[in-house]
Each structure stands twice: as C-alpha cells, then as structure tokens.
Amino acid sequence: MAEKKNSKGKSGLGKGLGSLIQGTDAETGRNTDFTEIKISQIKPNPDQPRTDFSEEKLAELMQSIEKDGLLQPVLVRPDGGDYQIIAGERRWQACKKLGLKTIAAKILVANDAEAQEIALVENLQRDNLNAIEEARGYQRLIELRNCKQKDVAEAVSKNQATISNALRLLSLPEEVQDLMFDGLLTSGHGRAILAVPDEEGRIRLAKKIVDESLSVREAEALARLYGSQGIGHARRIPSPRSFKVVARKLRQQLATNVRVKNVRGKNRIEIEFKDEEDLERIYHALSDTGGT
C-alpha cells in the first residue's frame, strides 16, 4: 500500500503522487478509486504546508461540490483509530461546512516525512498559492530530500528558473515577506525590492509600494534609485561586546546558534532550531535555567 520512495537518491522526489491519483474516469474527471470515510474521523494535518485558505475560494469550492460532487478524493493516512489529511484539506473543509457526513478518500500508509513530501508536492503543483507559501514549500522540499533545485523543478513540473526566483524571495526581510503573504505585494514587486542592497531600504520601498499602490515597473524604477543613492542605507552600529559574550554563553547553554543584536534601534535575541522537537528541547533548557 505505501508508496516506496528512494531515501538515498533524488530521482524519487514527487514520483509517488501520480500513482496516488490513479483511477480517474477519462470522461468525467472523477476519481473512481476511493473509500468513503466519516468526516468526523478525519483530522487536519498540523504540518499542512498551506496556511492561507481564502474564504472566497472555499465558498466557490462548496458551490462546485454541491453542483458536481467531489471530483477528487482527499488523501489521508491512518492515525490511531482515525485518519489524518495528507492532501486535500480545502476539500475536507468544504464538505464539512456543507454538512456532509462522509467524504471520498484514498488511504495511504506513510510516515511523517513521506506525508509531508506528498502534501508539499500536491500543493506546489497548484497555481493558487501565494508567492511566499510557494517559496517556503520549495525550500522545505529541498531540506526534506536534501536535493537540488532542478529535482524540485522536475517534481512539481516547473522550470528551474521559476524555483530559483521563488527561493530568492526568502532573502527579503520578514516584514516584506509578511506583506507578500497577505497579498499586498506580488512576486514581481518582491523581485524589484531585491534590487535594493540593504534591509532598511527594502523595507522602506515595500511600504511605499503598498501605501502608494505602485506597479511593478514603478517599483523597479524606485529600486534602481534607492540602490544608486543609498536611500534607506543605515549606518551599522557595532554591537556592544557584552552582546557577543551573552550570545556565546547562550550558544553553549542551548547547543544551537544564537545571535544577540540591535535591529533598527531594537535589541533582539535570535535562537535557531531545527524542528518542533528541537524547539521543545530549547524551551526546557530555558525553563531549567530559571529564566536566566
């Protein structure tokens, strides 16, 4: 039942998804290979790669299901006596809101890594992710499979330049990424902002684009101006020696990389962690110190 993947090689990335949606009727587009499962037995995936669910799009999906039924089943895996969604949370939410008691589902036995990879590929093959969700999805796939951009491009049926351009957006300041995530900036705006060499200038340009509803072409022109005149370039003030001392002590205490710095007049402590388990470990390490 479980789709076997090559954990050492890269060629298996995303290959299992096609086999999981077999059983589709050529004339109607309906998937004919599924099991009816009670909606109450299905739980969402806490690691769902997609986090932005548009209410408008959900309403459209509900209308479609009411009219034509559910064309594609959700993909789930056993979770105790219930099931956890691997792919298709929007479909599950729509059916739940419609008051349906059961939903068509394909059951797959998969571990956490396999389930997350399939969910990522399934989401990234769609066209309605926002630019930051898409970029984070590509980055997560690269980390999960320790693969290259060309392997991700093949898995999601997109060219490598698309993957590369998307990943570049993750070098934008968090404030700018948040604006893109909220749909206030497009990926074109994001690429224009990347032309500004310093973080402060990037943030100022992003806010100006939003405040004045600037087009991508206008943003590109301003980015060139910002870059040539150094607008927004802030003089970097060296951190006090005490910051470095504390950062070193925290690195030793927490066994992870720690930075203590001043950003735009505000002091920050940045603690790196690998995953949820590592975050829990750091939390307990901090708790054991009594807050010191």
Return d(Cα 224, Cα 193) in angstroms, integer: 9
Query: How many residues appear in the chain?
Result: 292
Is residue 201 within 8 A of residue 231, CB to CB? The reply is yes
Distances (CA, A) of 80 to 77, 83, 101, 102: 10, 7, 20, 19
Phi, psi (rounded to 5 degrees) for 216:
-65, -40
The one catalytic residue in 60, 89, 122, 218 is 89
Cα torsion 241, 247, 251, 254: sign: positive
Contacts of 43 (CB under 8 A, 6+ apart): 79, 82, 83, 84, 85
Query: If DSSP codes are grouped into helix, strand and coil, which group holds residue 239?
Result: coil
Contacts of 256 (CB under 8 A, 6+ apart): 271, 272, 273, 278, 282
Query: If DSSP codes are grouped into helix, strand and coil, which group holds residue 255?
Result: coil
Return d(Cα 91, Cα 74) in angstroms, integer: 7
Return d(Cα 89, Cα 45) in angstroms, integer: 8
Residue in this structure with the two tokens 């949606």, named with its chain if needed: 21
Question: Is position 89 annotated as part of the catalytic site?
Answer: yes
Contacts of 11 (CB under 8 A, 6+ apart): 151
Q: Which residues are catalytic?
A: 89
